[in-house]
Each structure stands twice: as structure tokens, then as C-alpha cells.
Amino acid sequence: MPRSFLVKKYFAKQKPNYSELEYQNDSLLERFPLAELSSADSTCFTAGLVWDLSVLPTLYLPASQSEPSATSVPLDLSSPSSLSSNASSSGEEDEGRTSDPPSPEPVHTYAPRQRMKCTGVMAHVSPPEEEEEGERETPATAARPAFLCKHCPKEYTSLGALKMHIRSHTLPCVCTTCGKAFSRPWLLRGHIRTHTGERPFSCPHCNRAFADRSNLRAHLQTHAEVKKYQCGVCSRTFSRMSLLQKHSSSGCCSTSV
């Protein structure tokens, strides 16, 4: 599992009680077919947006658990450090989100590479062997062609990419309603929809509306006769990769894929 999704677990059970806010904006639900809410959206949400840039610097240091890194997630959760707690005031839910455990096998991949200076995040993930830091400090200064994240072992080929990645650690976009923090404004915007109940993306087939375009896309698969993901053994198709995987690993194809 490449992403920090795993981390979500912790708050999966304590989701904010969206139901309360839900539908406040029922009117909005009018469901505009795939409306681009971009502007409209931002307009109404801006109110809810909080660009807590000021926290950035602060967050940097602790960097701590904002990034449990792939598999080690559980570890982190157990030790919620300080940082995020303030960062997002929500301490409750957000610290879990993180940024980027690279691809599969994060542990293996990461452990050895950890060269970040910032203790915290990766620290628990792997043994403290990364003394090899001497190099990194600042990506730019590093002799390496890559820009290294000081919060995690990730490295990028461009400063812009690194900066964007760093946001996943600093989570500058904070929801004023629940305090949850996000790395990007549009993520926050999407999150805010969970509070407002706005669902700008509607299915042309059944008119069902969704707050998230990706979810609509997934939903559209359910209308398709032939789903996107097909079992190589029985040819059965599924709307989601996860369903195909479940299918594969639990029966049809005795071979786990």
C-alpha cells in the first residue's frame, strides 16, 4: 500500500459527524451535472478555508507523526506527538494523514534510505541508522541531483515537486469546521463538501450526485456492462480494482493476485 491511507484507520471510526452538517446546503445539491464548481466553490468555501501558512515553519520541526510512513503507521498513532495537534487543532483526526510512502514495500525501500534530518516521522519507521546524513541538509545544497525531503526519505528531481510534497507534511490547508488539515486547497475543498453536503458531480445515468469526481467515476463503472477491471481467469469484470483483488484472492482464481 503505497499511500498513507492505512493511517486513516485510526480515524475511520471517529469520523466527524458530518451528518449534522450534511445537507445544510441541500440547495446546492441541485446537482449540476459535473459542474466545475471551481469558482463557485471556492467562493463559498473560501470562508471555510484557512491557510495556516504560519504553521508551516512550526510544523517542520516536529514533522513527527505527520508521516507515519507506510507500514509503521500503527507505531505512530500510538505516539501522537505534538505537532499536528496544534497544526490542525483537530489532533483527533488528522494526524494520521500523511504523505507518501512510496510504492509498495515502503519499509524496505525506506528504511535504508532514511537520511532525513528531521527526526520524527521516519524515525520510528526504521532503525536509526541513517547517520549518513551529512549530505542532505538542503536539497539544493546537496551534491545529489535530487531534492530531498527533510521529513521523509523522499526525493524529487525538482524543487517544485519537493515543495508540493512537503505540503503533505505541513498540511497548510485547515478546515475551519473540524480542524482537519490537508496538503492542498482542493483537497480541503473536497473535504468541506462533506460538511456542506454539496455534490456537484452527478451521474448522467441515474442522476445520483457525488461530492467527489473520482467517486462518480467509480460509480459510472457500476453502470457499465463491462467493468474496467477484469479477472483474467473467469473474465468477470469489476468496477474497482479492489473488488477484483478481493475476488482473486478469495476464490475464483486460487492464485492470489
Partner DNA sequence: CTGGGGACGGGGCCC
Partner DNA sequence: CGGGCCCCGTCCCCA
Helix 38-46 to helix 185-196 angle, to the nearest 10 degrees?
80
Residue closer to DNA, measured from CB, 45 or 123: 45
Cα–Cα–Cα angle for 224, 225, 231, rounded to 5 degrees: 100
Our finding on whether 69 is near DNA (CB under 7 A) is no
Which of 48, 80, 91, 185 binds DNA (CB under 7 A)? It is: 185
Q: Give the cell for residue 83.
A: 505537532
From candidates 168, 170, 196, 202, binder to DNA by CB under 7 A:
168
Q: Does 247 bind DNA (CB under 7 A)?
A: yes
Q: Binding string to DNA for residues 86 to 115, with x set by CB under 7 A, is what?
A: --------x--xxxx---------------
Site for DNA contains 31 (CB under 7 A) = no
Q: Is residue 62 involved in binding DNA (CB under 7 A)? A: no
Q: Which residues contact 189 (CB under 8 A, 6 or more apart)?
A: 41, 42, 45, 49
User: Is 158 a binder of DNA (CB under 7 A)?
Assistant: yes
Instruction: Kindly list the distances between the CA atom of residue 173 and the CA atoms of 51, 86, 168, 179, 198, in Å, as whole numbers in the listed order.
Output: 5, 13, 10, 9, 19
- Pairing state of beta strands 147-148 and 49-51? unpaired
Angle 191-193-198 from CA coordinates, rounded to 5°: 165
Interface residue list for DNA (CB under 7 A): 1-6, 8-9, 12-13, 15, 18, 36, 38-39, 41-42, 94, 97-100, 154, 158-161, 163-165, 168, 180, 182-187, 189-191, 193-194, 208, 210-215, 217-219, 221-222, 236, 238-243, 246-247, 250-251
